[in-house]
Amino acid sequence: MSQRTCLSVILAAGEGTRMKSAMPKVLHAIAGLPMVAHVVKAAEAAGATGLALVIGHGADEMRKAVQKFAPKAESFVQEKRLGTAHAVLAAREAISKGYDDILVMFGDTPLIDAQALAAARQKLAEGAAVAVIGFRPPSPTGYGRLIEKAGHLIAIREEKDCSEQEKKIGFCNAGIMAVAGKHALKLLDKVDNKNAKGEFYLTDIVEIAGAEGLDVVATEASFENALGINNRAELAEAEAIWQARRRREAMLAGVTLIAPETVYFSHDTEIGADTIVEPNVWFGPGVKIASGAKIHAFSHIEGATVASNCDVGPFARLRPGADLKQKAKVGNFCEVKQATIEEGAKVNHLTYIGDARVGAAANIGAGTVTCNYDGYSKFFTDIGEGAFVGSNSSLVAPVTIGKGGYIASGSVITESVPDDALAFGRARQKTIPGKGKELRERFASAAAARKKAAAE
């Protein structure tokens, strides 16, 4: 089958009014990726060499979005919504290019996996003209039933048209099918709209193919694979299923999740073996965690790279561009953005490091801030290897702290500091004996006077 070419036609023209959103339904995200992009990924993993997206509502918005996750996909607009077969034929130009296999999929089924699609394609390779993917829901009520005879699929019957005996069938239509490319257009063109709704139904090609003596079969996938999304409640259900799958994959790959149900991954999260993730950690898009790292509770990581044996959190935020080298530490209530924390460096407490480099083995004291923004532009702070920055210091960029430099606590540093130099950037302390007692007595007397006046 690896030699066979395959076109995936993804139907994504539905308006999704039940989502109560101005955005096209299939652009709503699962794990940070539009649900239609999940469908595209599954198709590509199943060997699709061509992609045709049939779009409608929000066509311009869809085209822009598709460019990001499927730049080679062809887009076709279904001007009028006249049924599923009509939607597939909107991609006639792509179908006519002579692909061996045609996969027909829906953009709102983000949990479909490549194995289910590959199984349907395999049936085509074995000689079937049509392979329909079926599933067994907890209750078949409301679903079209797959009517089989002697191992062949002879019809897809909508529930309202089922006999009492057929309603007992638990094998239902997932809506996804594979069609042999050499038969696809001929079968689709024979679909008519002589039905109550006056629409062209894709499911009709099952009986059309059977009438022509072509082999039609059904394959079975899990209920989750067929789950379609129509509203935000179902979107949340799909997110939960996706997350559960991903957590299990991570744990089986050697990652420790102490409270798996509280950890959230994005579609592209990479996390190495022997990493420990504590409860309530959120991984946004673009995160790569190497082996042996420890991510403490309540950390929020997005667009960041964390090398092996790093220590992050608790309550740490790594924003896009954060790059932690081996054995670096970013501690509690710290934020790092567009900055490199080099090997063995420590950013321990209540600190903001942005647009900066923290050199190897440097130590950043609590409450340190790199002042990188003047309201118009961003500026860089470079902190050298082995430098020590005392607590509650402000480093006003652009500024360089040299290798081994030492910044006294409470300093505001506006000029670069040479290697191994000590820098103070604070007002000189003045001590007045007895003045503290005098101030307390004065303040206490004033407070008592205010209280007496209020009582009168």
What is the separation, in whole angstroms, between the first and last Cα of the chain?
96
- Dihedral, CA atoms, 86, 87, 93, 97, nearest 10 degrees? -100
16: alpha, beta or left? (left if phi > 0; alpha if psi -120 to 50) = left
* C-alpha–C-alpha distance, residues 353 and 19, integer Å: 40
Q: With contact defined as beta carbons under 8 Å apart, do 363 and 381 qualify?
A: no
Beta bridge partners of 332: 349
Tokens representing 445 are: 């007397």
Nearest of 299, 209, 3, 245 to residue 112 by alpha carbon: 245
Q: Which residue has the tokens 């500026």?
A: 379
Identify whether 152 is a catalytic site residue. Answer: no
* C-alpha–C-alpha distance, residues 155 and 208, integer Å: 9
Q: Which residue has the tokens 């420990």?
A: 276
Tokens representing 155 are: 């019809």
Nearest of 148, 149, 142 to residue 167 by alpha carbon: 142
Catalytic residue among 86, 267, 300, 349: 349
Where in the sequence numbering do the catalytic residues fall? 349
